[in-house]
Each structure stands twice: as structure tokens, then as C-alpha cells.
């Protein structure tokens, strides 16, 4: 049985007071669930989140990190800094990091390696652009994103990896991949991993879908056999919406 996960990527939203208010509401309203629930507030509020959620099963993730141990990297955050405040999960490769901050497969592969050395859990994001899908290159693009960042790993490393397929054209646009499109890609991802590693790893890795998941479409998307949950942006900023999505798993 694969681990089900619903993760909220808060992006650059919520100041301290808003963060505290949303965390309190989430902790109070979290329904009984078989899923792991994760929230990723902005860096400056991670400590607050860890403290607030001390007695909750909700986990805290960072939205990014640097690959270096420490040093002259102005404005960056290291794995040890995250671990030191109790954050053991990191989102890497989000499409906004790729497109707005120039993170490419080579850089992401370094970040993945560091996170693994530090024994962190990684939510690794990838997905094709609209152009890729229109030109029917989406499978090739996804395969190369996975290959370049993850296919150099050892088999044992996969225990720490969660995949998040996020077609760029569906992020923040209100346009969702259809449940069939999500299923088709998730099945392809498993097939690709089985070929590069083995069937057991492919079968056991949790693959989330992300891109305009909302309370009204979550159930149908999550009902697909290869979809193990979601990475939620906009809808994770409202407690009731996020809780409805958690209930949908
Ligand atoms: P969205 O964002 O749910 O607002 O589309 C998803 C994401 O960026 O992870």
C-alpha cells in the first residue's frame, strides 16, 4: 500500500499572523485521514509552523533549499538549517523555481543529492509546459526531467523520494489535467522508473498530482489508481478547501 499524501505549497503567501491563524485552524479541523498531510509555509515562518504543529500529525516542509553545506551564498538556506529547526522535508524542482529562478536539471540533481545525504524527504516536482503537450512531447519531457535529476540515485534512495507531477499549464491557471491525463502520465512515470530501476520501486513510490486541484475535482483525480494524492497551491491557503481535499483522498 503506497503512502497517500496531501501537501499544501503556500508559496510566497501568509505573513506571521496569517500563518499562525491558518495553522491553528488546520490543526483543529484536520479530519481522520489515512493520508500524510504536509504544509509548506515560507522560510521565515517554518519555525513557527513546526512549533504550532508539535502535537499535530501535520508535517512541515520547506519550499526549496540550497545544495551547499554552508558558505557564501547570500539569501540561501541550507539543509542543516532546515533540519536544525525540525524541518525534514523539502520540495525541490517546483515549476516556479525552474521557470522564474532558472533552476535546471543539473542544479536540481545537486539539491536532490544533498537532501539525500542529509536524510531528508524530498517532494520532487516536474511536469511539461503547454507547448510540450501540444507538440505531444510531454512524455519525453517528463522522462528527461526524471532521468536527469533522479536516475543516478541508488535504489535505497527512493524511500526518501515522493514525486509530484505538475503539468505547468495547470498550475495556478484553474485548468486541471483531466483525471485520465493524470492517470496516463502517472502510469508512464511508474513504467519509466520500473525500466530504470525495478518494478518494486516503481510500485512503491508515491506520485502526487499538482495543478489546480480544488475541492470539486480532488475526488475524481485521487480516484485514479496511480495518483497517490496531491500537491496543492491556491486551495491550500484556505483551511476549509484544503480540508475538503484531504477528505477526498
Ligand atoms: P495550484 O498550484 O494548486 O495553485 O495550481 C499547484 C502548485 O504550484 O504546486
Q: Is 171 in the pocket of ligand 1 (CB under 6 A)?
A: yes
Residue 7 to residue 233: CA distance in whole angstroms: 9
User: What mean pLDDT is predicted for residues 225-247?
Assistant: 98
CA dist 181 and 234 (Å) reads 21
Q: With a 6 A CB cut-off, is 41 part of the ligand 1 pocket?
A: no
Average pLDDT in the chain? 97
Give me the torsion for CA of 190, 37, 179, 144, rounded to 10°.
-40
Whole-number Å distance, alpha carbon 78 to ligand 1 midpoint, is: 24
- Give yes or no for a contact between 139 and 98, defined as CB atoms under 8 angstroms apart: no
Catalytic residue ranges: 94, 166
Other residues' Cβ atoms within 10 Å of the Cβ of residue 86:
14
Q: Are 237 and 13 in contact (CB under 8 A)?
A: yes
* Mean pLDDT value of segment 142-151: 97
**1 — pLDDT class (breaks 50, 70, 90):** confident
Per DSSP, 144 falls in state H
CA–CA separation, 216 vs 168, rounded Å?
20
Q: Is 207 in the pocket of ligand 1 (CB under 6 A)?
A: no
139: three-class secondary structure by DSSP? helix
**What is each CA distance from 143 to 56, 188, 196, in whole angstroms?**
37, 9, 11
Structure confidence at residue 172 as a pLDDT band (50, 70, 90): confident
- What dihedral angle (degrees, nearest 10) is formed by the CA atoms of 67, 130, 173, 123? -30
- For the chain, where are the alpha helices, taking DSSP H only? 16-29, 46-52, 79-84, 95-101, 105-117, 130-134, 138-150, 179-196, 199-204, 218-222, 239-247
Relative to the CA of 11, which ligand 1 atom is closest?
Answer: 8
Determine whether the shortest distance from the Cβ of 213 to ligand 1 is under 6 A.
yes
Q: How far is the CA of 119 from the centre of ligand 1 (A)?
A: 26
Question: pTM value?
Answer: 0.97
Q: Tell me what pLDDT residue 174 has.
A: 81
Q: Is the dihedral of CA 242, 83, 62, 7 positive or negative?
A: negative
State the cell numbers at 93. Answer: 524542482
State pLDDT tens for residues 24-65.
999 999 999 999 999 999 999 999 999 999 999 999 999 999
Q: Which of 64, 213, 216, 229 to mutate to test the pocket of ligand 1 (most atoms within 8 A of CB)?
A: 213
pLDDT digits (tens, 9 = 90+) for 66-91: 999 999 999 999 999 999 999 999 99
Any atom of ligand 1 within 6 Å of the Cβ of 241: no
- Residue 66 Cα to ligand 1 middle (Å): 22
Q: By the 8 A CB rule, do 173 and 153 touch?
A: no
Amino acid at each position: 500500500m503506497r503512502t497517500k499524501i496531501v501537501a499544501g505549497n503556500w508559496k510566497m503567501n501568509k505573513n506571521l499572523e496569517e500563518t499562525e491563524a491558518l495553522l491553528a485552524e488546520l490543526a483543529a479541523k484536520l479530519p481522520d485521514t489515512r493520508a500524510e498531510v504536509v504544509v509548506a509555509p515560507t522560510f521565515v515562518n517554518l519555525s513557527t509552523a513546526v512549533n504550532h504543529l508539535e502535537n499535530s500529525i501535520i508535517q512541515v516542509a520547506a519550499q526549496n533549499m540550497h545544495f551547499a553545506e554552508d558558505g557564501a551564498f547570500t539569501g540561501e538556506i541550507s539543509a542543516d538549517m532546515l533540519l536544525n529547526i525540525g524541518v525534514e522535508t523539502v520540495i525541490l524542482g517546483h515549476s516556479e523555481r525552474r521557470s522564474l529562478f532558472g533552476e535546471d536539471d543539473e542544479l536540481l540533481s545537486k539539491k536532490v543529492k544533498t537532501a539525500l545525504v542529509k536524510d531528508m524527504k524530498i517532494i520532487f516536482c516536474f511536469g511539461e509546459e503547454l507547448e510540450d503537450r501540444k507538440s505531444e512531447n510531454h512524455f519525453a519531457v517528463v522522462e528527461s526531467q526524471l532521468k536527469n535529476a533522479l536516475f543516478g540515485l541508488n535504489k535505497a534512495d527512493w524511500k526518501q523520494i515522493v514525486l509530484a507531477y505538475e503539468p505547468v499549464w495547470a498550475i495556478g491557471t484553474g485548468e486541471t489535467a483531466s483525471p485520465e491525463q493524470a492517470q496516463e502520465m502517472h502510469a508512464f512515470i511508474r513504467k519509466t522508473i520500473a525500466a530504470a530501476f525495478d518494478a518494486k520501486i516503481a510500485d512503491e513510490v508515491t506520485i502526487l498530482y499538482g495543478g489546480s486541484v480544488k475541492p470539486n475535482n480532488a475526488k475524481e483525480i485521487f480516484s485514479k489508481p496511480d495518483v497517490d494524492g496531491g500537491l496543492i497551491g491556491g486551495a491550500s491557503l484556505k483551511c476549509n478547501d484544503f480540508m475538503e481535499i484531504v477528505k477526498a483522498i
